[in-house]
Amino acid sequence: MEILTTNKSAVDLALEKQRRESEARAILQDLERLITISVERKRRWVWELIQNAKDCAPKHETEEKRTINITFQLSQHRLTFAHDGVPFTLENLLAIVRRTSTKSYDNEDGNTGKFGTGFVTTHVLNRKAYVSGLLENELGIREFSICIDRTPETLEGLQRELNTVFGIINSFYETTPVVFDTPPLTKYEYALEPDTLQLAEESLEELKKNLPFTLLINPTINSVTIIDERTGANNVYSIGKSKEAYPGVHFSKLTDGNAANSDDEKGLLHNAQNNITIAVPVEKKHDVWYIDPIGKQARLYREFPLIGTEQWRIPFFVQSHEFLPSEPRDGVRTLKDNETKPDRTADENRATFVKFRDEAITFFKNLQAGAVERLFLLTESGLPIEKTEYTAAEWFTENIQKPLRIFFLTHPLMKTASGQTIAINKARFPQYFIDDATNKLFYSIAVKYYYGEFPNESSFEDWQRIISQDTASWGNSIISTPEELVDDLNKPSGLQPLKLQENETAVKWLNKLIGFLHTIDKSALGENKNLYPNQEGRLKKKQELRVDPPLNPNIKSIGVSLNQPVLRLLLDNGITHREGIDLFDTKAFFNSINKTIGELIPSDVKLNEYRAVFELVSMFTESTAKERERWHQLAKQLLPDMVGDREVHTDMGEFIFGSAELASIKYVCWLIEKAKDFKTFCATYFQDQEASAYEWLNNLIEVLFRNQDYEELIRKHSVIPMQNGLFRKLETGVYREDKKAPFDLLFKTLYTSYTDKGDAKAFLVACEIKNENLPWKTSEILTNSIDNLFIAYDVEKKVEPDGVLNPLFHELNNWIATKEEEGELLFPHFSRQRPMLYIKAFGPEVSKMVMAIHKLNKPIEEIVALANLNMSAVELEELVKASQMAGGTEKLLQAAAEIEEEAKNAEWRKNVGDAAENAFKEAMADIEAYNLENPDRGFDFEIHFPNNDPYLLEIKSTVVFKENVQMSGLQGRTARDQKQRYALCVLAREQHDTTVTKEYFIGNAKFVTTIGSLVENKVNGMDNGLQTLNQYKAGEVITSLDDEQYSVYVNKGAWNQGISFNDFIVYLKTHFQA
């Protein structure tokens, strides 16, 4: 369309042509820029359309009616923008097509948009825009619809398209007006491609974020509806009428058209003073207002948001008509190129920000007075982040940031993890990490340590954002870094500040911290600082520790008791981050334990160490260790409170237990030695149960003889109980009694009383100790010393009634009276001199009286009166004394009989011996190189033959009608032990005084060559405990217990079956030639 008048000059025509070319060229340039501008600026199309709609609000109606309603409708392929504002004027419609501004220079007409110039931005959606609505002139209104096509890329092509649109507009303009019952809406429609659909979606999302405050400061916009045909969503956004919430604070409710949210108390708390409007998003819960963070929304507004101020670090929406925004309306400049010169834009904006600062403090105080929660969000006050540098940083810091922070610092705004509320200058904040997971991990770790200084979990990220903005102006040491946390752990308080849950431990916490340091490549902190816990619970540097293999817990405890630094060296097993830490040297540790054990010296102050030793004694591997188990049982029996139960450990295969066993045995030996005597030992460890104590000692001694090291202990420590009750070590002069022939108690008494060699029980091992490794002696060790007393040249004098050996003579005499054969073996000197010493022991006068009594040849009970003997009173008194020495009257008479019998027997033995010897010599004359000896030790004769053991012969004599032959215990045992070369010869006499000639002996002697077998079971019975019986008879052999000495009686039925002398000679020849 050409709108020309015929009266224009050539200049006017030329200028008109240039203007049109210029407008077309400007459109092409704007379209070209749309290709390269940022996405953020492309999304401004939304605000350009809203600005145009706002400028179409009725201006001459009442306040309630001076509003418009805006709708965005999105489908897969189209975006439609509509509003119910006033109709287009021809000027406004042409401005959209031509890209010319309808805004007055000083905004006096109230228009906020530029109508045509800003409209070009909407072509980011499509180069074609379909505009429809009402067009108004002085005659009225009519409906129109045009397509604004910006697809031509040449100046000429675009000009042609513009002329076409102008013609269409003119045709609508000249049509007849129409009256509408319901006027149609003004619409802008854009066909969408996939890329522009995404842009449309993003732009509408940005719109939703910035709508609340936009609606608050633009009351002419009644509502904004956003319809998404793809999802069926239809949301109507509006802001409620403002009402006072607190003095100086108003609330405006925001609705989005959802019935479900219609009752929600969500909206804005705000205040407007001094041309500054400040607002914060809030929600009301249980009659308490909670401030919400603004998020990624524009913070600064003039009439509409200044897109680009989303990262301004202020927690408010701030609007002022006094702001002078930069183009393209993405910030507010306070920066000057020269601080000393006036700069209208910068100076006015600075003044507006100072007003904001003061109003922000006032607004904060009013909110604080109203007990609004989460006020801490309002402390955000960092320098703006801008794509274009608009802010004078130094000026902003000194005039805005610092005054605000000085105000906020002392207010109790931070709720700690402990639930307390403290001021910022008393708080600490975790260092911020860009990675969200890393950031949350560090907080979760550090908050356990700074429980009363860190913000709670719901607010720490907001606080991080706030404090990390220009941190220095908040004050020193307000940020806690991993390095500072590790430093604090190395302070004297160490881990004490940790606040852990029931299922948490300090080690788990440290492991989490160490793992975190590995994650952020700060593991070196553990090498320079004490960070890794050892098993004592102390923190150490990483290189000071070793990884637990793992060691058996018991052996670690044992190591501690033995003063081994094992727990100090071992990393706590709860630490799983072990990179760079060497494995603990188990073998060296075991060697060190054994070395320490080997150096232990038993003492009362070493009780703890020996408890550890006995714990080792209780530990076993899966392999068999019978000797160790036996010692463990013994040790536990003695020390039940010190020795535990047997425990099998599968992880102790490398440990050598020998040192522990040796040390424990050494300790036990020390305990026994410390007891000194058996009675104390028995009372201390066995509750006076002597049998148990002796049994235990027997087992101990058996252990001590197990090897050379142990045997050394029995030679160093007094652990052998002696018969005097004391303990002695094994040394020269310590002996046990012959188990086959226990010592007569009388021998020990006589030895102690008469030999001047001390107490016999002091060197004799207690009879209850049966170990055969202990050296033993026969009773001759006592009897020889006793018997040797009777070798002295003056022995006859010593046995006289007043002599020192007189009591000894009577003691021995009484003993030998019942054990003649054994007596002759043990006391040969005494036995030989006994008959002669009788007279000396009783004295000559008493001896005569005794013999006189004996010659009465009457039983003692028949001797009623000794007066018949014509004894004086003195003689009677001596006789009484002799009777007392002999053990009674019967014993005295027996002694007299023995003196007489001894003389007869001596003569008889000589005759029998000579006869037997002559008989042997004559009978064996044809046997060469024989010899006959008479040693008299368990037998009478030894018959020797070259290259053979001697044959033993015991000769017994009995009187007819006295059938039993008595053999001593010694003779019986000798017959049993030498049964293959032992014979019993019995010679029966018709009368006691029958003369024994060689012929009589050869004719009457009986030889029992099987006597050893006959008496074997009976003698064994004696040796093995038949002492409880006074008499035991089996077959033709009887054993008898008289005065605790055994005799073996062989009946005539046994010996009478013996062979004759001649048969015996034949038997001997066969025996020696076998």
pTM of the model: 0.63
- State how far the Cα of 840 lies from the Cα of 806, in Å rounded to an integer: 9
Q: Report the run of H or E that residue 777 belongs to, with start and end.
A: strand 776-777
Tell me the torsion sign for CA atoms 553, 557, 559, 564: positive
- Does 1027 have pLDDT greater than 50? no
Q: What is the pLDDT of residues 136-171, one digit of tens each?
A: 999 999 999 999 999 999 999 999 999 999 999 999
Instruction: Output the CA–CA distances (angstroms, integers) from residue 91 to 142, 250, 601, 894, in the order listed.
Output: 15, 40, 116, 172
Above 90 in pLDDT, residue 767?
A: yes
Q: In percent, how much of the chain has pLDDT > 90?
A: 65
Kindly state the average pLDDT of the residues 424-432: 93
> Which pLDDT band holds residue 966 (cuts at 50, 70, 90)?
confident
- Pairing state of beta strands 982-989 and 951-959? parallel
Instruction: Label residue 852 by pLDDT band (50, 70, 90).
Output: low
Residues 6+ apart with CB under 8 A from 1072: 927, 945, 948, 951
Q: How confident is the model at residue 911 (pLDDT cuts 50, 70, 90)?
A: low
Q: Which of 875, 813, 866 is nearest to 841 (CA)?
A: 813
Provide the pLDDT for residue 263.
54
Which tops the pLDDT comparison, 811 or 1031?
A: 811
Mean pLDDT of 863-870: 42
pLDDT at position 642 over 90 = yes
Between 443-457, 619-633, 653-667, 906-920, the lowest mean confidence (pLDDT) is in 906-920
pLDDT of residue 859: 46
- The candidate with the shortest Cα–Cα distance to 363, out of 307, 413, 424, 318, is 318
Q: Cβ of 176: how many Cβ atoms within 10 Å? A: 7
Angle at 298 between CA 41 and CA 390, to 5 degrees: 70
Reported as type and span, the H/E element at residue 954 is strand 951-959
| Residue 432 CB partners (closer than 8 Å, separation 6+) | 439, 464, 465, 468
The amino acid occupying position 285 is: K
Q: What CATH code is assigned to 924-1073?
A: 3.40.1350
How confident is residue 1042, by pLDDT bands cut at 50, 70 and 90? very low
Task: Determine if residue 235 is left, alpha or beta; phi over 0 gives left, psi from -120 to 50 gives alpha, anything else beta.
Answer: beta
Please say if the pLDDT value at position 1031 is more than 80: no
What CATH number was assigned to the domain covering residues 20-193?
A: 3.30.565
**Residue-wise burial string across 590-602, b where 16 or more C-beta atoms lie within 10 A, e elsewhere:** bebbbebbeebeb
The residues that bridge with 932 in the sheet, in sequence order, are: 943
Task: Give the C-alpha separation, 435 to 438, whole Å.
Answer: 5
pLDDT at 925: 63
Whether residue 2 is predicted with pLDDT greater than 50 in this model: the reply is no
Where do the domains of the chain lie? Answer: 20-193, 272-336+344-409, 679-788, 799-906, 924-1073
DSSP for 308-367, written as a single string: T-TT---SSEEE-TT--BPTTSS-B----S-TTS--HHHHHHHHHHHHHHHHHHHHHHHH
The pLDDT tens digits of the residues spanning 44-80 come to 999 999 999 999 988 766 666 789 999 999 999 999 9
* Between residues 111 and 698, the one the model is more confident about: 698
pLDDT, greater one: 740 or 610 = 610
Question: Rounded to whole angstroms, how far apart are CA atoms 962 and 956?
Answer: 12
What is the CA angle 969-983-1023, rounded to 5? Answer: 25
Q: Is the Cα dihedral 378, 381, 385, 389 positive or negative?
A: positive
pLDDT for residue 946: 83
3-class DSSP assignment, residue 651: coil
Taking residues 845-858, report their average pLDDT: 54
Q: Is there a contact between 783 and 826 (Cβ–Cβ < 8 Å)?
A: yes
Q: Is the pLDDT of residue 816 over 90?
A: no
Check residue 104 and give its pLDDT: 46
Q: Which single residue is written with the structure tokens 């004297």?
A: 492
Q: What is the pLDDT of residues 772-787, one digit of tens each?
A: 999 999 999 999 999 9
Pull the structure tokens for residue 38. 């940022």
The number of residues making up the chain comes to 1074
Q: Enter the tokens of residue 851.
A: 């013999």
Q: Determine contact, residues 290/372, Cβ cutoff 8 Å.
A: yes
- What are the tens digits of pLDDT across the range 475-531? 777 899 999 999 999 999 999 999 998 889 999 999 999 999 999 999 999 999 999
State the average pLDDT for the chain: 87
- Token digits for 48? 């350009």
Q: Worst-scoring range by mean pLDDT, 13-22, 172-181, 712-721? A: 13-22
Percent of the chain at pLDDT exceeding 70: 85
Asked whether 576 and 623 are in contact (CB, 8 A), the reply is no
Separation CA 479–CA 181 (nearest Å): 67
Q: How far apart are CA 256 and CA 252, in angstroms?
A: 13
Residues 603, 607, 608: CA angle, nearest 5 degrees: 140
Highest mean pLDDT among 36-40, 286-290, 315-319, 838-842: 315-319
* Mean pLDDT, residues 192-201: 96
Identify the pLDDT of residue 867. 38
Asked whether the predicted pLDDT for residue 134 surpasses 80, the reply is yes
Question: Is pLDDT larger for residue 438 or for residue 307?
Answer: 438
Among 518, 521, 495, which Cα is nearest to 507's? 495
Cα dist. 28→33, 148, 224, 774, 1029 in Å? 9, 13, 32, 125, 143
Q: Which segment of 195-199, 496-500, 872-876 scores lowest on mean pLDDT? A: 872-876
What are the Cα distances from residue 990, in Å, to 916, 918, 955, 984? 18, 22, 17, 20
pLDDT at 854 over 90: no
Taking every pair of Cα atoms in the chain, the longest distance, rounded to a whole number of angstroms, is: 209
Give the tens place of pLDDT for each residue, 95-132. Answer: 999 887 655 444 444 444 445 568 999 999 999 999 99
In angstroms, what CA-CA distances link 782 with 539, 741, 744, 787? 72, 13, 10, 9
